[in-house]
Amino acid sequence: MLKERLKGYTIVLASGSPRRQQFLRDLDANFEIRLKEVDEIYPDTLQGAEITDYLAELKAAALEESLSENEILITSDTIVWHESRALGKPKDRDDAFAMLKSLSGKTHEVITSVCIKNEGNSETFNETTRVTFNPLSDEEINYYLDEYQPYDKAGSYGIQEWIGLVAIARIEGSYANVVGMPVDKVYQRLLKFTTK
């Protein structure tokens, strides 16, 4: 369906995330990956979704000059928002352990923003999912870090991995958003984008 509607367009995904790439494959969309290194620095006055909106737009701005007429750019950013603090990707193992320890037995939010842009249009939107963790022992956290090494993931965990099976008591909102992209919203926006 999407492939048919996007005939004549090329989707450019500016993400090295295997999860986001797989989501676009699952939507049966033709896309190419185009990466440009961006310093993910944001004003410290920003809170929650303001952070991810800002970073998604920052990533889009870095690539917009390279877009041709029939290309649609998708950029995205995800954070874990916990106790009024953004948890991005961990710096190292100690940082990852501290993040998971802080999430243990508590509820946090996973916020993803997506910016979709072409030569004439730009739209940024976000999704928030509330995730509640069961209490985790140090042994369980160490096992997860040793076996899965989730250092490329916001908040130091992937819901689709072992930790998602044993640690997550409840989610409120989009599961796909926690994996890395609110795919239903991306699908709907892409359909609208091609009719603008």
Which structure tokens are listed for 26? 């699952």
What domains does the chain contain, in order, with CATH numbers? 2-193 (3.90.950.10)
Q: Residue 61's pLDDT is what?
A: 94
Report residue 181 CA to chain centroid gap: 5
Which structure tokens are listed for 115? 């910016």
Q: 110 with 78: CB under 8 angstroms?
A: yes
Q: What is the pLDDT of residues 173-196, one digit of tens each?
A: 999 999 999 999 999 999 887 665
Q: Residue 147's pLDDT is what?
A: 97
Neighbours of 40 (CB within 10 A): 14
Per-residue pLDDT of the chain (196 residues; tens, 9 = 90+): 777 878 888 999 999 889 999 999 998 888 999 999 899 899 999 999 999 999 999 999 999 888 998 899 999 999 999 999 999 899 999 999 999 999 999 999 999 999 999 887 899 999 999 999 999 999 999 999 999 999 989 999 999 999 999 999 999 999 999 999 999 999 999 988 766 5
User: Closest by alpha carbon to 47, among 79, 2, 84?
Assistant: 84
Which CA distances in Å does 59 have to 15, 76, 141? 9, 8, 32
Global pTM?
Answer: 0.92
3-state secondary structure of 2: helix
Q: Residue 124's pLDDT is what?
A: 97
Q: 65 with 36: CB under 8 angstroms?
A: no
- List the catalytic residues: 77
